[in-house]
Amino acid sequence: MSDENSRTLMDAGDLESSSMHINLGPSHPAMHGVVRITLDVDGEKVLSSELEIGYLHRGFEKSAENKRYTQIFPYTDRLNYVSPLLNNFGFALAVEKLLGIEAPRRTQFIRVILGEISRITDHLTCNGAVMMELGGFTPFLYAIKARERLYKIIEKVTGARLTVNYSRVGGLRGDLPENFREELLAILKEVEEDLKDIDTLVTRNRIFMDRLVGIGVITKADCIKWGITGPVARASGFDYDIRRDHPYFVYDELDFDVPIGVNGDNYDRFLVRAEEINQSIKIIKQALDLLPNGPIQVSDPRIVMPDKTKIYNTIESMTANFKLTIDGIKVPAGEIYSFTEAGNGELGFYIVSDGTGYPYRVRVRPPCFFNTQALPNMINGGTIGDIVPTFGSINMIAGELDR
């Protein structure tokens, strides 16, 4: 009898086992936005995973084909909604290149300053979310507090926190408010204090490091193969920053470093983002010192609306206003691929124009499309618990992913 019992125990290992099928998302607190991951798991171990996207698809590209160039700006706000200004400026740059014009110098500096503020809010959101998902609610609130300070100044300039619609072809909607420089410097000081708080609380925290170091690794070669750019690629040692390698606006006049990671794991991604925030602050301070006076819009009447007083008082300006409203900006026929460094990497706009006021085709190259596509590589072989920080650290933004 006892002999038989021991035999059954020994044979338990030979019993047929099958992997389990689990759905993570589409609606799950750790899935930023909506995306569904279907997992095959063996206990805690992830055997394979597949992503399903498109839950937030709203036809940006189709809408853009049916709108005038100026009308597209509000739509670009909703691409990467934690750094809307970077999308605004990226699109404006693409159309300006197609028109063969360059925005005035003051505008370019303002774009750099506000763009970097947006980059900080983007990185703070991502790092904050990673910290929160690992159970650290306090540092998350610190990050959100710092972000809120920056949103306040963005609101003061543009009138909105997220749906900014601030940029225009050939310029900006309005100039900076009075005392902008002093207020921004004061806010940056407060933000630096918040960053210090986060840094001392989290960065060398043992529990935090245990969850991030060596998890979700992607190598440099894989980054290039999968087309990954931005902080995720830089954390893997792929030294590519469009601001430095293909400078646009006035980035070539500013001095900043590009932080590079070594291991390509979650911890390096966290550190790269944290250091990029510091570099952005450095850029903003330099740009504030160099900010010149002058116009904020080009003076071409085919592109920019005339002054309101002129519209009411002269027939030419009224006609120009009418033509611009009805026909839009007539962009010469041609095609362009223009790319800028957004919060997540290379944000490209491929615009085909047929010479009318409407673009013939607008294609967005969303940076996190590529990050998300490579996600199964990072989570396969790990545990279910590691999916959440890995998913958080690639910073998938559904608005940009699904367009």
Partner 1 sequence: MSKQILEKILKKFPSDIVSSHSMFGNETVEIKKESFYKLIEFLKDSRQFEIDMLVDITCVDYPYQSNRFMMVYHLYSTTLKHRVRVKTALLEENPTIESIVPLWESANWLEREVFDMFGVIFKNHPNLKRILLYDSFKGYPLRKDYPITQRQPIVGPLN
**66 near partner 1 (CB under 8 A):** yes
Helical packing angle, 180-198 and 137-158, nearest 10°: 170
Q: How many CA atoms lie within 13 A of 273 on its CB side?
A: 33
**355 near partner 1 (CB under 8 A):** no
Q: Give the one residue of 197, 250, 363, 384 binding partner 1; rule: CB under 8 A.
A: 363
Q: Where are the alpha helices (DSSP H) in 260-307?
A: 266-290
Q: Which is nearer to partner 1, 73 or 339 (CB)?
A: 339
CB of 207 to partner 1, least distance (A): 35
Contact 223, 263 (CB under 8 A): no
Which residues have C-beta within 8 Å of that of residue 195, sequence separation ≥ 6?
A: 146, 274, 277, 278
**133 near partner 1 (CB under 8 A):** no
CA distance 42 to 19: 5
**78 near partner 1 (CB under 8 A):** no
* DSSP conformation letters of 5-33: HHHHHHHGGGS----EEEEE-SS-TTSSS
Contact 346, 205 (CB under 8 A): no
**Which span sits near partner 1 by CB under 8 A: 22-30, 284-292, 297-305, 330-338?**
330-338
Q: Which is nearer to partner 1, 106 or 330 (CB)?
A: 330
**59 near partner 1 (CB under 8 A):** yes
- Closest listed residue to residue 211, CA positions, set 271, 275, 124, 131: 131
Contact 212, 386 (CB under 8 A): no
CB of 245 to partner 1, least distance (A): 6
Q: Which is nearer to partner 1, 166 or 369 (CB)?
A: 369
**Which span sits near partner 1 by CB under 8 A: 117-125, 191-199, 271-279, 356-364?**
356-364
**25 near partner 1 (CB under 8 A):** no
Q: Give the one residue of 22, 43, 45, 62 binding partner 1; rule: CB under 8 A.
A: 62
**97 near partner 1 (CB under 8 A):** yes
Q: Compose the 207-236 pattern: x for residues touching partner 1 by CB under 8 A, - for all others.
A: -----------------xxxx---------
* DSSP conformation letters of 304-351: SPPPHHHHHH-HHHHHHHHHHHHH---PPSEEEEEEEEETTEEEEEEE
CB of 226 to partner 1, least distance (A): 5
CA distance 298 to 355: 20
Q: Give the one residue of 183, 199, 219, 350 binding partner 1; rule: CB under 8 A.
A: 350
**69 near partner 1 (CB under 8 A):** no
Number of amino acids touching partner 1 (CB under 8 A): 38
CA distance 143 to 128: 5
Tokens of 347: 């944000």
**Which span sits near partner 1 by CB under 8 A: 9-17, 54-62, 112-120, 254-262?**
54-62
Contact 164, 158 (CB under 8 A): yes
Interface residue list for partner 1 (CB under 8 A):
53-54, 57, 59, 61-63, 65-66, 97-98, 224-227, 238, 240, 245-246, 334-337, 339, 346, 348, 350, 352, 360-361, 363, 365, 369-370, 373-374, 402-403
